[in-house]
Amino acid sequence: MIGQNAGSPFPGLPDARITPLLLIAHADGERTDGLRRARLSLGLPEPIIVSYEQLLAGVPLHAAAEKAGLPTGTAPFIRLDAPGEHFGVERALIALGSPEHDDGDSLLPLRERRDPYRLSEKAALSLQEQPIRLMHPSQWFRGFCRLLDRIRGEALQAWPQARFWHDPADIATMFDKRACHRHLSAAGVKVPTLLAEPETLTGYEAVREAMLGKRIHRVFLKLAFGSGASGIIAYQINPKTGAEIATTTMGAEVYVQRPGIFYNSKKVRSLTDSESIRTLIGYLCGHGIHAERWIPKASLDGRPLDLRQLVAFGEAGHTVVRVGESPITNLHLRSQRVTPAASGLSDEVLTAAKNEALAVMRAFPASFSAGIDVLTERHTGQPYIADVNPFGDLLRRVLHDGLDPYAWEMQRWTESGGAEADTDTIGSLQGGTQE
């Protein structure tokens, strides 16, 4: 086992059997539990957990880690997990993105843009939870990038040899669909044609002008930092009749005196009136819009599908095919999951999709896993990368090599890490830590 690590493509990757895993996540929840269980099932020690709440309350990373059980002076392997689905954390990140904390934003992609209606720290901290409402996504992302930057800085100061599961800079790039598209495109990964540079898409008119000018009449408009189906509009205009259709879960309540309220409902609707469409597109453009060509997706029984492909440490793992009731296939509630074998996609198409997902991770050599959304064009089978989610490994009830995603990732780490140490060293170190 150990011998096969020689020549590992991951130089510097710490040895899984002797390196503590420091998990920055919510203290409890499905992801944290899943990862903990996976480690125990493989005979690995429990992860050392530092919560986002602790860090956002101002506790330094190394202090929180040592309090959670990390031996002083031991460099951990640091894994961040999804910061979402936790209102307290969301609100604290929006507060961290406030003007009071302006610091140059070194990890924020497209940082020359200004956020609309910036909230003061005080205003951010007084936000109340409204489950489906979109809470200032651009300021949230600014705050998240600031936290990533802080975590990176504090980690390297405390443990100069520490490595990250995902380089914090990569997390920022992956989370920003504009930056990610640009990065993948430059790396030669197949992505849908960009409608226009995001800086030029200032609003509804600019989007339409670009569509008509380039004859890209069908596009996906995405909130640059949404996840899942959040902030996505499948938009098409008819150059002959002037008609337009926006298919989306987004909705808005518009006011004259103050900014409107935007939300994601659970239902996909098709809007055809220009005023509503203008409002929604305007919101995306204000916070940050990514606009790309609508790829006609392969379908199963008339319903379009896409794939979520998990890649970890250079290998493709779990594949989930999602069959939608609408063009927006990644809508959690309405999508049905099928196995690749039942998807109707040929082996060639599935292999091409896997290969494209692997190419994505080669474009992020300092990060070791991601859940990658792949579209397959229905006529050619050509795969296109739609989204890269560094935390896209929460895939329920699906096994690969008999392992759930977390266990498989931990096994992949075990197989891939520790390349620089020779067999004897690993053996002795392992012996030492098993006490």
252 scored as a contact of another protein (CB under 8 A) = no
Tell me the C-alpha distance between 162 and 157, whole Å: 9
When binding is defined by CB under 8 A, the residue of 142, 146, 166, 297 that contacts another protein is 297
What distance in Å separates the CA atoms of residue 263 and residue 73, rounded to the nearest whole number?
A: 46
Cβ distance to another protein smaller for residue 236 or 430: 236
Does residue number 378 form part of the binding site for another protein (CB under 8 A)?
yes
Q: Is 239 in the site for another protein (CB under 8 A)?
A: yes
Q: Which two tokens stand for residue 21?
A: 């895993």
Our CB check for another protein shows the closer of 7 and 302 to be 302
Q: Considering only residues 238, 336, 425, 428, which one is a binding residue for another protein as defined by CB under 8 A?
A: 238
270 binds another protein (CB under 8 A): yes
Contact track, another protein, 407-426, x by CB under 8 A = --------------------
Give least dist CB 180 to another protein, A. 23
Contact status: 242 vs another protein (CB under 8 A):
no
Residue 380 makes contact with another protein by CB under 8 A: yes
215 binds another protein (CB under 8 A): yes
**At closest approach, how far in Å is the CB of 106 from another protein?**
39
Query: CB of residue 285 vs another protein: minimum separation in angstroms?
Result: 24
Figure out which of the listed residues 123, 245, 300, 398 binds another protein, where binding follows CB under 8 A: 245
Compute the least distance from the CB of residue 297 to another protein, in Å. Answer: 5
Q: Does 397 bind another protein (CB under 8 A)?
A: no
Looking at residues 8 to 27 of the shown chain, list those that interact with another protein (rule: CB under 8 A). Answer: none
306 in helix, strand or coil?
strand
Q: Tell me the HSE value of 9 on the side-chain side, using a 13 A CA sphere.
A: 11
The answer to whether residue 236 forms part of the interface with another protein (CB under 8 A) is yes
Residue with Cβ nearer another protein (58 or 302): 302
If binding is defined by CB under 8 A, does position 213 make contact with another protein?
A: no
Given the complex with another protein, which of 177 and 297 has the nearer CB atom? 297
* Amino acid at residue number 352: A
CB nearer to another protein: give 243 or 261. 243
Task: Round to whole Å and give the CA distance between 253 and 426.
Answer: 60
Of 100 and 253, which CB lies nearer to another protein in the complex structure? 253
What is the smallest separation between the CB atom of 222 and another protein, expressed in angstroms?
A: 17
Q: Say whether residue 240 binds another protein (CB under 8 A).
A: yes
Q: Choose one: 21-29, 119-127, 169-177, 294-302; the region binding another protein (CB under 8 A).
A: 294-302
344 binds another protein (CB under 8 A): no
Q: How far is the CB of 298 from another protein (least distance, A)?
A: 9
Point out which residues bind another protein (CB under 8 A): 215, 217, 236, 238-241, 243, 245, 270, 293-297, 299, 302, 304, 327, 377-380
